[in-house]
Structure 1
Amino acid sequence: MNIKHLRAFVAVAEHLSFAQAGERLHLSQPALSLTIKALEQHLGGALLTRSTRHVALTPEGETLLPLARRLLADWDNTEELLRQHFTLQTGRVSIAAMPSFAGNLLPQALKHFRDRHPRVNVAVHDVINEQVLDMLRQHRVELGVAFEPQSLQGLHFTPLYTDRFVAVVPRDSPLAEHATLTWAQLRQADFITLQRPSAVRLLLEEETLAAHGKLPVAFECHQLSTVGRMVASGLGVSAVPSLCIGQMHELGALCKPLAEPHVQRRIGLMHLGEHELSTAALALQDALISAALAPAPLHVKENADEPH
């Protein structure tokens, strides 16, 4: 039994006429009769009684009619729903992004996406770098934005840009008078950073340990916004990815370029390599790539006294 059989049966049952049902379905009466006969043979009995002047439903036909109508309605609704998904008239897509990206560049990409596809729902998970990878591998999200992992392990990575860390200092600090800061200068103050296993924290420790030893961590927290507030309040200094410059300035702190060793890492868009992305995910992926390529400052200038 297939959709063609059901449409033929419902048309004949509603018109009680093979001629009128054939016109509705654009089928000849012989073709329609063969379709009904095939359905009856498949089910094992007559659904219609017919004569040269009269067509009527058998008891089994009466039983099938409401069920067939419901099945056809479900089928048509499914077709329409999928068509809307493919044309982005509706749908849903989920993305996980590390907070430094989610709180800075992601809104710009989402605005671009929303302007084009206003009826597609986007679920955003702003989680630490490691959780982005976990959520992708657990099929909880289709897309992820994070630092490039050392091992992809089944993930496809599309680089968006390379981000270099910058110093974050209080605006009234003597350090704010320097155009560029060294790690030695930064380490003379109390250091504020994210708690482990944050990728920001681990990257800072890995890249500076050999040249400068352990970071003099005085305060650690979970959110970069808290780091910015604490620096602005004069509790210490920090180092964050340069895409956070605007956020740090809004929070009242000041960003400065850092001299060598430069701490930097590629940030990119990821999805499961063997997973076919939905139409909505492909559209969001395009929006993210377009936002990364837009002429927006991604790195701190040598004179980073004004917000970017």
Structure 2
Amino acid sequence: MQIDFLGMQAFLAIAEQGGFQQAAAHLNLSQTAVSHRIRKLEDSLGVTLLARTTRDVTLTDAGRALLPRVRAAMREFELSYDTLRQHSRNAPQWLAFGCLPTLASHRVAPALRRFGQMHPEIAVRVFDNSIQEIAELVQAGTADFGISVAAPNRHGLNVEQFAQEPFVLVCPAGHRLARLRSVRWDQLSDEVLVRISLPAGNSATIDDALGERRLRLRWLYEAQHTALALNFVREGLGLTVVPCLSVTETEGLAIRPLHEPAVTRKLAVLMRRGATLSGPAQALRELVVEELRAGLPASGA
């Protein structure tokens, strides 16, 4: 049901001010406009609210029944409006950006800590979404910028590459490959592997880089997210391959570089074309990019 707010406002003004002329002056409207609002309200309700004579206006039984409810509703609305207005004055300033979960998991928090020291009055919202979702958020202006991978996009965004992130092997700390400084892909041919089928397209990146050699690998398990794949590795189900910024060495896990071939993905900042970041937003962008670069091996920058 559609609520006729303007009609109720006019009805209350007439009842409280004593007539159409007084209500029109109170609302800064013409008498014609007030009359139109009342007719529309009465038509929508199917009842007559006001009895009009040449000398005065009185409430009908329906009008008297409606008046206290309209008065209470209007007072409640005014209170809510004032509350929201006060909130808008006192609420913190917000910045928002998008970041792939595999990038945000370990490197974003230090950047936010540094940003908070610089701008303690600004709140930050992080959209840890997929490539497609981040692009849509940036295009819509919901996110000031996005940290994603450099890929063709149908949104016409500016894509500024800032680093290449290598993929690494994750294995149990006691595994034979953990004793090596780096691992060749052909050394994985006898190992059980856990594939991560992410919306970011990491599996496709690996397959494209390996070519026909991918057919010699034993991907016996598949997970949708990195955290689950790493849990599989801890439980001894197999080994996995992930972008290096998505994992840190923890108890029970070892991380080793992969080569022959080295597989990488390009990291980029996404922005709307023609958009200009505010000073704080630009500072936040620089801090996040700096933290991500710091987490890469020297050859990955």
TM-score between the two structures when normalised by the length of structure 2: 0.63
Question: 1:186 & 1:92 partners in 2: Cα distance?
Answer: 47
Change (3 A) 1:102 1:196: closer
Q: Per-residue displacement from partner, 1:60-99 (whole Å, max 9, x unpaired)?
A: xxxxxxxxxxxxxx9xx99x96xx9xxxx94111111111
Question: 1:100 & 1:158 partners in 2: Cα distance?
Answer: 19
Question: 1:161 & 1:204 partners in 2: Cα distance?
Answer: 18
The aligned runs of 1:221-240 (5 Å cut-off) are 221-240=223-242
Change (3 A) 1:254 1:95: same
Q: Which residue of 2 aligns with 1:271?
A: 271
- Asked whether the 8 Å contact 2:135–2:155 carries over to 1, the reply is no
Q: Which amino acid aligns with 2:291?
A: A
- Asked whether the 8 Å contact 2:188–2:217 carries over to 1, the reply is no
2:210 to 175, 186, 208: 208
- Is 1:256 matched with 2:286? no
Q: Which residue of 2 aligns with 1:27?
A: none
Q: Offset of 1:214 from its aligned partner?
A: 7.0
Q: Offset of 1:237 from its aligned partner?
A: 0.7
Q: Per-residue displacement from partner, 1:210-246 (whole Å, max 9, x unpaired)?
A: 3333753222223212222211221101111122342
Q: Which residue of 2 aligns with 1:164?
A: 166
SS at match of 2:174: coil
Q: Which amino acid aligns with 2:240?
A: S
Question: 2:277 & 2:164 partners in 1: Cα distance?
Answer: 25
Question: 1:251 & 1:279 partners in 2: Cα distance?
Answer: 40
User: Which segment drifts farther, 120-129 or 279-288?
Assistant: 279-288
Q: Per-residue displacement from partner, 1:133-159 (whole Å, max 9, x unpaired)?
A: 232223332211111113575212233
- Asked whether the 8 Å contact 2:145–2:271 carries over to 1, the reply is yes
- Asked whether the 8 Å contact 1:180–1:256 carries over to 2, the reply is yes
Q: Which amino acid aligns with 1:193?
A: R
Aligned residue pairs, count: 218
Q: Which amino acid aligns with 2:165?
A: D
Question: 1:194 & 1:135 partners in 2: Cα distance?
Answer: 24
Change (3 A) 1:126 1:187: farther
Q: Per-residue displacement from partner, 1:228-277 (whole Å, max 9, x unpaired)?
A: 2211221101111122342xx22631111112111112212211113333
Q: Which amino acid aligns with 1:146?
A: S
Q: Which residue of 2 aligns with 1:99?
A: 101
- Asked whether the 8 Å contact 2:99–2:126 carries over to 1, the reply is yes
- Asked whether the 8 Å contact 1:99–1:224 carries over to 2, the reply is no
Q: Offset of 1:194 from its aligned partner?
A: 1.8
- Asked whether the 8 Å contact 2:139–2:155 carries over to 1, the reply is no
- Asked whether the 8 Å contact 2:138–2:271 carries over to 1, the reply is yes
SS at match of 2:259: coil
SS at match of 1:274: coil
Question: 2:292 & 2:143 partners in 1: Cα distance?
Answer: 20
Q: Which residue of 2 aligns with 1:298?
A: 296
Q: Offset of 1:170 from its aligned partner?
A: 1.3
Q: Offset of 1:180 from its aligned partner?
A: 1.9
TM-score between the two structures when normalised by the length of structure 1: 0.62
Question: 2:127 & 2:120 partners in 1: Cα distance?
Answer: 19
Consecutive unaligned residues of structure 1, counting only runs of 5 or more, are: 1-73, 302-308
Q: Which residue of 2 aligns with 1:50?
A: none
SS at match of 1:250: coil
1:112 to 95, 111, 114: 114
Q: Per-residue displacement from partner, 1:123-182 (whole Å, max 9, x unpaired)?
A: 111122332223222333221111111357521223332111111111122222222211
Q: Which amino acid aligns with 1:113?
A: F
- Asked whether the 8 Å contact 1:154–1:274 carries over to 2, the reply is no
Q: Offset of 1:197 from its aligned partner?
A: 3.1
SS at match of 1:258: strand
Consecutive unaligned residues of structure 2, counting only runs of 5 or more, are: 1-81
- Is 1:123 matched with 2:125? yes
The aligned runs of 1:1-308 (5 Å cut-off) are 90-151=92-153, 153-213=155-215, 215-246=217-248, 249-250=249-250, 252-292=252-292, 296-299=294-297
SS at match of 2:258: coil
Q: CA RMSD in A?
A: 3.1
